[in-house]
Structure 1
Amino acid sequence: MSTEGVTSIESLLDLDSLLSAEDIDLRTMVRQFGEQRLRPHIAEWFETGQVPVRDLAVEIGKLGLLGMHLTGYGCSGSSATAYGLVCQELEAVDSGLRSLVSVQGSLAMFAIHHWGSEEQREQWLPGMAAGELIGCFGLTEPDFGSNPGGMRTTARRDGSDWILNGSKMWITNASVADVAIVWARADDGVLGFAVPTSTPGFSAREMTHKMSLRASVTSEFSLDDVRVPEDARLPGARGLSGPLSCLSEARFGIVFGAVGAARDCLESALDYVGSRQVFDKTLAGYQLTQAKIADMAVELGKAQLLALHLGRLKDEGRIRPEQVSVGKLNNVREAIKIARQCRTLLGANGITLEYPVIRHANNLESVLTYEGTSEVHQLVIGQALTGVSAFR
């Protein structure tokens, strides 16, 4: 099929006109890294469930992408929009790779940067920004995901130390991490701790048999009388506002990341229908095909515009949690619809790892429910609009 006069997905709404030259250059750099370093291996990493996290963290750290939206301690202090575009390009390769960056930067590093002491920032953040130290974020428990307030992990005073007991589940990178941000219930509320994973009593194991996010290390960890000093406690964090603020940071990256996954699916489908012959003409030449393509492109463009708008609000310091919920709810929901629709266009080829579509679709099943399920975000938005909490 001739490409003369063909409009690209990104040029359909001229979205690049909304970006600065610096943003475009950064996006191009990350896209090239993804195409050259990540995409040639991603199908194998997904199929085997093995991903070289430590090697990748160092490489990504050298690009300045870990904790890039934080300031100081080896972090570049980039704009929220720039960080979002990085998440978009990484998730265009695979959600697991974006998760590596967002868990490191928006959960573990953000918790230390925002709620930690100066000593903790100096101890952990430079190595984490370089990718030489890996962090994880322990909030979710086997029985408490959407309701973190019910957590059973405890922190008990013992002299000048704290004793931590409990378990956390569905924790990205816990089994390869150097430091775990642990949230635990104490007598005076929920507290956060930066716990070296070498501390006696800390144990982690990788969770296997996943059908989604296979190119990501997912773990559970246990705390068995883990003794940490007072200076391991994050002094600025008290109550659920601590971990919830970190989750809002991570959700922001997903708003952009989901757009990347959807875009990759649509680009793959466009390429396929342009060459696939059905009844003596290309699949692209059928009205039903073009209707599907048009609808997906419109939804993708709307999701991108929403992400950019939220990026601007965040850069101006005006973003609210319910606005992040709008972005996460809409963009992931539409991305998974696009992935599933693209799968139909590829027919049987859509279920193989020769194409990225089924991999994205599987990954987005996880993205749909982590960092707050769709139902949780609906209730956040509903509360903002009605003034009534429906969580209980």
Structure 2
Amino acid sequence: MLFDLDDDTQLLQRTVREFAQGEVAPAAEELDRTKSFPYDLVAKMGALGWMGIPFPEEVGGSGGTSLQYAIAVEELTRADSSVAITMCAHTSLGTQPIHLFGTEEQKARYLPDLCAGRKLGAFGLTEPEAGSDAGNVRTRAALDGGEWVIDGAKQFITNAGTDISGHVAITARTGENEISNIIIDNGTPGYEQGTPYRKMGWNASDTRPLSFDGCRVPEEQLLGPRGAGFKQFLHILDIGRIGVAAMGVGLAQGALDEALAYAKQRKAFGQAISKYQTIQAKLADIATEIEAARLLTYKAAVLKDQGRNFTLTAAQAKLKTGRLAVRASEEAVQIHGGYGYIEEYPVCRFYRDAKILTIGEGTDEVQQMVIARALGA
């Protein structure tokens, strides 16, 4: 068992870290405050090959590993979660379904633009009556004259309504007790993106409801075999949990970075507050938890790269890191005192961004169910 990253992965880690510190961090506060989508940053990440890290070079990807992808997500989240989730959702949810289940024609049509970041992909699973109970899909698709006619609604969908959004792959009922996935291009008549949500955090990320009213797409837009949608989206969620777990690690690390730096320069009662045991205990506990969570997340990524079952480990990593992100950001705010409550300080944004990591990509309670079942309970 080796814990050292190989040279290529270390280089990627350093490069993304420098980009996050030099490009993302300086823009993060304004993007959050103005709720502006980070088009320029996405374009730069696309040019660097980071919008398609785990996909083969022959389809336009970077030919990287799941571990490399997780590390890139982690480093971006140390600076800002909105930028990170844009890349994360695009890769894990928008591009992976086509890479894994698409026909050769679909791959040739969609993957080059997706991997280059010229287009963003989205995945439409969640509905008003189908959140944690993801199989309770109400959106319907019926064949009519060689076309799927789609009616229904989705909610909390990421990356579907930007100027560069290209498609959404949705789950829909295509028959009795039958769920299938269908690709719908932006601009298709009958498919509308609603007004963006007013959110607690992730303010520079695009999140909105979608509606389908007599939306017609060719029969060939079916993604994978008819009726295989339930099995497909469970696998996609497993993959997505690695990325979200990496976000939890990155946010916690970013919060610790800010807390440590502030504690070393903030003086109270004649010395830096980092010299007081109460503050030291907070920093030490969070640093230890981050290291453990990071190893768990990396293990899930490596298991996927090895072609082994990673469902249990990904769920454990996601559960652990989401909770850690909330705790780490809360402690970072506490160490900052009153300044932690002021928006100009990154820990305030980190605190607001952290909570969704215990909800999105499967709630903590769903992760506990997945883990318990995997244990045989």
Q: TM-score range by the shorter chain?
A: over 0.9
- Greater shift in the superposed pair: 99-108 or 304-313: 304-313
Map of 2:371 onto structure 1: 381
From 27, 49, 58, the equivalent of 1:64 is 49
The residue correspondences of 1:56-205 to structure 2 (distance < 5 A) are 56-71=41-56, 72-176=58-162, 177-187=165-175, 189-205=178-194
The residue correspondences of 1:213-252 to structure 2 (distance < 5 A) are 213-236=202-225, 238-252=228-242
Task: Give the structure-1-normalised TM-score.
Answer: 0.92
Q: Give the direction of change, closer, same or farther, for the CA distance of 1:319–1:95 in structure 2 (3 Å limit).
A: farther
Map of 1:13 onto structure 2: none
Q: Tell me, what secondary structure is at the counterpart of 1:191? A: strand
| Aligned amino acid, residue 59 of structure 1 | K
Partners of 1:200 and 1:279 lie apart in 2 by 66
Q: CA RMSD in A?
A: 1.4
CA contact (8 A) 1:116 1:236 kept: no
| Aligned amino acid, residue 164 of structure 1 | I
C-alpha deviation, 1:131, in angstroms: 1.2
Partners of 1:248 and 1:386 lie apart in 2 by 18
CA contact (8 A) 2:70 2:243 kept: yes
CA contact (8 A) 1:23 1:82 kept: yes
Partners of 1:326 and 1:186 lie apart in 2 by 33
| Aligned amino acid, residue 37 of structure 1 | E
- Greater shift in the superposed pair: 37-46 or 65-74: 65-74
Map of 1:333 onto structure 2: 323
Partners of 1:17 and 1:234 lie apart in 2 by 38
CA contact (8 A) 1:66 1:128 kept: yes
Map of 1:207 onto structure 2: 196
C-alpha deviation, 1:297, in angstroms: 0.9
| Aligned amino acid, residue 175 of structure 2 | D
Map of 2:304 onto structure 1: 314
The residue correspondences of 1:283-302 to structure 2 (distance < 5 A) are 283-302=273-292
Q: Tell me, what secondary structure is at the counterpart of 2:362? A: coil
Q: Give ranges in structure 2 of 5+ residues lacking alignment.
A: none
Map of 1:24 onto structure 2: 10
Map of 1:39 onto structure 2: 25
| Aligned amino acid, residue 268 of structure 2 | V
| Aligned amino acid, residue 197 of structure 1 | N
Partners of 1:319 and 1:70 lie apart in 2 by 19
Q: Tell me, what secondary structure is at the counterpart of 2:126? A: coil
C-alpha deviation, 1:17, in angstroms: 5.4
Map of 1:253 onto structure 2: 243
C-alpha deviation, 1:353, in angstroms: 2.7
CA contact (8 A) 2:299 2:313 kept: no
Q: Give the direction of change, closer, same or farther, for the CA distance of 1:60–1:162 in structure 2 (3 Å limit).
A: same
CA contact (8 A) 1:92 1:263 kept: yes
Question: CA-to-partner distance for each residue in 1:366-387, whole Å, 9 max, x for gaps?
Answer: 1210000000000111112234
Q: Tell me, what secondary structure is at the counterpart of 2:135? A: helix
C-alpha deviation, 1:56, in angstroms: 2.9
| Aligned amino acid, residue 256 of structure 1 | A
Map of 2:353 onto structure 1: 363
Q: Tell me, what secondary structure is at the counterpart of 2:229? A: coil
| Aligned amino acid, residue 271 of structure 1 | A
Q: Percent identity?
A: 34
Map of 1:7 onto structure 2: none
C-alpha deviation, 1:106, in angstroms: 1.0
CA contact (8 A) 1:162 1:230 kept: yes
Task: Give the structure-2-normalised TM-score.
Answer: 0.95
Q: Tell me, what secondary structure is at the counterpart of 1:29? A: helix
